[in-house]
Structure 1
Amino acid sequence: MQINRLFEIIYILLNKKSITATELAEHFEVSVRTIYRDIDTLSSSGIPIYASQGKGGGISLLDDYILDKSLLSEKEQNEILYALQSLSVVKAPESDDVLERLSRLFNKNKTSWIEVDFSPWGSDKKRAFQFTIIKDAILSRRIIEFNYISSSGKKSARRVEPVKLIFKVNAWYLQGFCLTRNAYRTFKISRMSELLMTQEVFTEKVLSELPNESQTDNTQKWIQVCLKISAEGAYRVYDEFDEKDVTRNWDGSFTVTASLPENQWLIRYILSFGADVEVLSPNNICDMLRDELNRISSKY
């Protein structure tokens, strides 16, 4: 890629007093003519690069030159470095190498300003490795294979063309075209096992928008639920509900009014708060909770 080669030429010249076009051509495995075209491109862009003839001659930069005196403002340099650093933490191809070169070119220290870890808290290395496989498969357009357990507990083998990783409601999901079902599907990462990236390359399909979960289940009924959550449950309130749906009470508790799906998930979600939650409405949810608690207590 020419832009990468141009940056590396400058990087080499910053570390060498002079280098010949033949040496650069051998380094990049291109022709000498291509190197001279690159030099012309850099020169026309305002880079103070020159070539001298004769013994000891070669291609050089003016002494004390650094890139921040030429093409980019201080803000633009920082934006480029920050963007590359955010890519490097997810191991985007060649990002570390390019980041190191540009840091030298801009005469800046490489500062670690961001850390991205796709794996959940407390997860093992195997779970973290899943994200690396999925990311690599998306970027290289490779088909992946895995076993998947549905919300009903049924296990099935899947072959998928991965498209996008999504984080939603405290969980990671993969969207892609499921070759097993011949349709786009959304998979919860925590339900995937025995993940494998194959050597099969797929052609990206033309799709304006990936279907979301609500599009795949139009029969789902949503209801308005009012909850009172104690001060002890405060750590979850603003993580899981929109601020506009939350009212703080005088005693430190919270009243939350939100639209939630009316199904068994809702009952188990409310129970996950333990004694820190009280359902104020609707009444039928209170009845469903009471029935579920009775079933639980009967086992003990």
Structure 2
Amino acid sequence: MQINRLLEIVYILLAKRQVTAKQLAEQFGVSPRTIYRDVDTLSAAGIPVYTNKGKGGGIRLLDQYVLGKSLLSDKEQIDILSSLQGLNALNVPEVEPVLNKLAAIFNKNSTSWIDVDFSRWGSNYADQEKFNSLKTAILNRNVVTFDYYSSYGEKTERSMEPVKLIFKGQGWYIYGFCRLKDDYRLFKVTRIKNLTCSEETFTREIPRESWSDSDSLDVSHRTVRLVLKIESRMAYRVFDEFDQGSIAKNADGSFMVKVDYIEDEWVYGYILSYGNDAEVIEPEHVRNIIKRKLEASLRKYL
């Protein structure tokens, strides 16, 4: 207990530079006399701590003192703090106290330079809570249950051991072991409804095989290579939504985009979201599907 208290005192002094014996005594639930004995112990161990008596006095460390600085280079210290900032942005439990302690030890400002919001643009509170529940289930290894709607609107009840949240192709997915299918599956988060995080825990680890294989998707579709001609006025979307290597510029200023997507209703809707500014060049069957959808929409206005 004393060793832990001694370390905590050093951390506090590194962060605040000066505190009173009374403040430390109240924090640790001991007497001021015990705190002064701790100060003597730290001084004997070579820690440059001293006390100032009178008004405005207290327990201090020598200015510019940095604990353990020689163990890590300046860049390594910054890398460690940056990594912890990333975890803290994800609200990983008990990271913030460690971040603050190391920032004090390294004598560096732990300015919050990163923030992570798992929810999509335009989402509501319920969507944000869904992401928080999934994240908590992954960290605590809790089994989750939910209703899942396929791209055709078919509902199934699922029980899952979640292991990873993934952002892929403008959408969030949860990857884990689906007990209904007795295999690993990838579920689109927006199609998950009535999510419940149970008290049951699991021990399953992430498998070595890649989650990016389309076979892991909980849909019956395969990827399709799309060739799209997109008008120049949609340049802001083209460079936001496609990799530079998949974009070619035509002589008339339009763009030719080649991209692989899982073929489902989302893809058709995505293409249609461009209106008359996008044309499917290949494959022919997708071109025909888009044509039929446009014709069906037009008939509603005739």
Instruction: Normalising by structure 1, report the TM-score.
Output: 0.76
Partner of 1:55: none
Partner of 1:122: 122
Question: CA-to-partner distance for each residue in 1:100-124, whole Å, 9 max, x for gaps?
Answer: 2222222222212111111111111
Asked if 1 retains the 8 angstrom alpha-carbon contact of 2:163 and 2:206, the reply is no
Asked if 1 retains the 8 angstrom alpha-carbon contact of 2:151 and 2:264, the reply is no
Partner of 1:63: 62
Question: What are structure 1's unaligned runs of at least 5 residues?
Answer: 28-35, 52-59
Partner of 2:258: 257
Counterpart CA distance in 2 for 1:263 and 1:134 is 25
Asked if 1 retains the 8 angstrom alpha-carbon contact of 2:231 and 2:253, the reply is yes
Helix, strand or coil at the partner of 1:252: coil
Helix, strand or coil at the partner of 2:153: coil
Counterpart CA distance in 2 for 1:109 and 1:173 is 35
Helix, strand or coil at the partner of 1:111: coil
Question: CA-to-partner distance for each residue in 1:147-173, whole Å, 9 max, x for gaps?
Answer: 211222112222111111110000000
CA gap of 1:281–1:194, structure 2 versus 1, over 3 A, is closer
Amino acid at match of 1:175: Y
CA gap of 1:48–1:187, structure 2 versus 1, over 3 A, is farther
Amino acid at match of 1:124: N
Partner of 1:176: 176
Amino acid at match of 1:244: G
Partner of 2:243: 242
Asked if 2 retains the 8 angstrom alpha-carbon contact of 1:7 and 1:101, the reply is no
Counterpart CA distance in 2 for 1:284 and 1:180 is 33
Determine what percentage of the aligned residue pairs are the same residue: 43
CA gap of 1:88–1:261, structure 2 versus 1, over 3 A, is closer
Question: What are structure 2's unaligned runs of at least 5 residues?
Answer: 30-37, 50-58
Question: CA-to-partner distance for each residue in 1:162-198, whole Å, 9 max, x for gaps?
Answer: 1111100000000111123322211111111222211
CA deviation after TM superposition for structure 1 residue 294, in Å: 1.7
Asked if 2 retains the 8 angstrom alpha-carbon contact of 1:164 and 1:174, the reply is yes
Helix, strand or coil at the partner of 1:107: coil
CA gap of 1:112–1:252, structure 2 versus 1, over 3 A, is farther
Partner of 1:286: 287
Partner of 1:100: 100
Q: Does 1:196 align with 2:196?
A: yes
Counterpart CA distance in 2 for 1:176 and 1:276 is 38
Amino acid at match of 1:271: L
Counterpart CA distance in 1 for 2:90 and 2:168 is 19
Question: CA-to-partner distance for each residue in 1:29-85, whole Å, 9 max, x for gaps?
Answer: xxxxxxx9xx99xx9xxx94489xxxxxxxx99733213643222111111111111
Amino acid at match of 1:246: I
Across the aligned residues of Structure 1 and Structure 2, the Cα RMSD in angstroms comes to 3.6
Partner of 1:147: 147
CA gap of 1:104–1:193, structure 2 versus 1, over 3 A, is same
Partner of 2:157: 157
Partner of 1:273: 274
TM alignment of 1:77-92, pairs within 5 A: 77-92=77-92
CA deviation after TM superposition for structure 1 residue 254, in Å: 0.9
CA gap of 1:145–1:101, structure 2 versus 1, over 3 A, is same
CA deviation after TM superposition for structure 1 residue 210, in Å: 5.0
Amino acid at match of 1:192: I
CA gap of 1:221–1:125, structure 2 versus 1, over 3 A, is closer
Instruction: Normalising by structure 2, report the TM-score.
Output: 0.75
CA deviation after TM superposition for structure 1 residue 222, in Å: 5.2
Partner of 1:31: none
CA deviation after TM superposition for structure 1 residue 136, in Å: 1.3
CA gap of 1:6–1:198, structure 2 versus 1, over 3 A, is farther
Question: CA-to-partner distance for each residue in 1:251-297, whole Å, 9 max, x for gaps?
Answer: 43212233455665544332221111123344444333322222222
Partner of 2:231: 230
Counterpart CA distance in 2 for 1:141 and 1:190 is 21
Counterpart CA distance in 2 for 1:156 and 1:5 is 54
Counterpart CA distance in 2 for 1:119 and 1:16 is 42
Q: How many residue pairs align between the two structures?
A: 274
